[in-house]
């Protein structure tokens, strides 16, 4: 026999899935995975002691390095359109990495590389220095960033499309949201980080291009839709 609470939960789930389907950029499988994350965050938020959890949670949810969480989960959502198919982006980032390795021996070669890639990618408007950072194609990011694998702390982003000041000033909307958020936002981020286990899925969480909004990605959508749970 199904209880009243169960029926209410089922209705909420159906309603939430309907809302997720309205966002055509969210596929059915992605919606299901992230619905589970939302449900887990909501359930855990209701049963744990909020007064003692935040400090421990902050050590689990890595905010300081959100865009390069680990060897698999990296985000380039601020620098490209992640409505594009995974394979389209994979080929592009692989092509750029190969050209960069072949052409760049020092910072003097960076303009030459940029011009070469501009000719190769006439229709692409993203920064040419966004590429795979590793040979296994598991991590994406900025080849000019001071934390890049070969830059030794030197910031070379002035050679990029947007320039060093703009790149330095940009703060991810997801990072702003979780910094001022409460327990539910932190828990949701924790579960979404665990579920999005590669560069493409992880970047879609925070990319403003996915939602057509400069400020906000799927992470912000999931927080707002949490009211249906």
Q: What is the full per-residue pLDDT of the chain (229 aa) written as tens digits? A: 334 445 555 776 677 666 666 655 777 788 888 889 999 998 888 887 655 555 555 555 556 678 888 888 999 998 999 999 999 999 999 999 999 999 999 999 999 999 999 999 999 999 999 999 999 999 999 999 998 878 889 999 999 999 989 998 888 888 888 888 888 888 899 899 999 989 999 999 999 888 766 567 889 888 888 777 7
What are the structure tokens assigned to 156, written together? 């070379």
Classify residue 107: in a domain, yes or no. yes
Do 103 and 54 share a structural domain?
no
Classify residue 126: in a domain, yes or no. yes
Do 165 and 177 share a structural domain?
no
8 A C-beta contact, residue 146 and residue 155: yes
The DSSP H or E segment spanning 142 is strand 140-142
Do 126 and 111 share a structural domain?
yes
Using N-to-C axis directions, what is the helix angle for 86-103 and 199-206, rounded to 10°? 110
Do 69 and 49 share a structural domain?
yes
Classify residue 4: in a domain, yes or no. no
8 A C-beta contact, residue 119 and residue 103: no
Do 221 and 179 share a structural domain?
yes
Do 126 and 162 share a structural domain?
yes
Classify residue 7: in a domain, yes or no. no
Per the structure, the count of domains in the chain is 2
Classify residue 213: in a domain, yes or no. yes
Do 186 and 153 share a structural domain?
no
Do 163 and 104 share a structural domain?
yes
Do 223 and 179 share a structural domain?
yes
For 142, residues 6+ apart whose C-beta sits below 8 A from its C-beta are 76, 79, 127, 129, 130, 148, 157, 160, 167
Cβ neighbour number for residue 52 with a 10 Å cutoff: 9
Do 204 and 96 share a structural domain?
no
User: How would DSSP label each residue in 60-79?
Assistant: HS--TTTTB-SSS-B--TTT
Structural domain for 131, as ranges: 86-169
Do 90 and 158 share a structural domain?
yes
Classify residue 8: in a domain, yes or no. no
Q: Which of 148, 169, 190 is the last residue of a domain?
A: 169
DSSP state of 70: S
Which sign does the torsion angle of CA 52, 53, 54, 58 carry? positive
Classify residue 1: in a domain, yes or no. no
Torsion angle defined by CA atoms of residues 85, 87, 89 and 90, in that order, rounded to the nearest 10 degrees: 160
Q: Which of 131, 152, 169 is the last residue of a domain?
A: 169
Q: Which of 169, 187, 211 is the last residue of a domain?
A: 169
Classify residue 38: in a domain, yes or no. yes
């Amino acid at each position: 026999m199904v209880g009243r609470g169960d029926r209410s939960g089922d209705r909420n789930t159906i309603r939430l899935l309907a809302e997720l389907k309205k966002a055509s950029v969210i596929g059915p499988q992605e919606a299901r995975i992230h619905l589970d994350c939302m449900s887990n965050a909501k359930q855990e938020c209701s049963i744990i002691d909020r007064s003692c959890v935040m400090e421990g949670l902050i050590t689990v949810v890595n905010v300081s390095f959100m865009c390069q969480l680990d060897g698999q989960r990296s985000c380039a959502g601020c620098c490209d359109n992640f409505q594009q198919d995974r394979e389209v982006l994979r080929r592009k980032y692989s092509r750029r990495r190969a050209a960069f390795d072949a052409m760049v021996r020092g910072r003097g070669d960076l303009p030459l590389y940029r011009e070469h890639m501009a000719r190769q990618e006439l229709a692409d408007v993203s920064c040419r220095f966004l590429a795979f950072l590793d040979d296994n194609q598991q991590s994406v990011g900025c080849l000019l960033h001071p934390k890049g694998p070969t830059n030794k702390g030197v910031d070379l982003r002035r050679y990029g499309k947007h320039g060093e000041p703009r790149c330095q000033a940009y703060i991810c909307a997801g990072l702003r949201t979780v910094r001022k958020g409460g327990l539910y936002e932190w828990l949701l981020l924790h579960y979404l980080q665990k579920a999005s286990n590669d560069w493409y899925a992880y970047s879609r969480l925070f990319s403003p291009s996915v939602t057509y909004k400069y400020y906000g990605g799927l992470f912000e959508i999931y927080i707002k839709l949490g009211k249906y749970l």
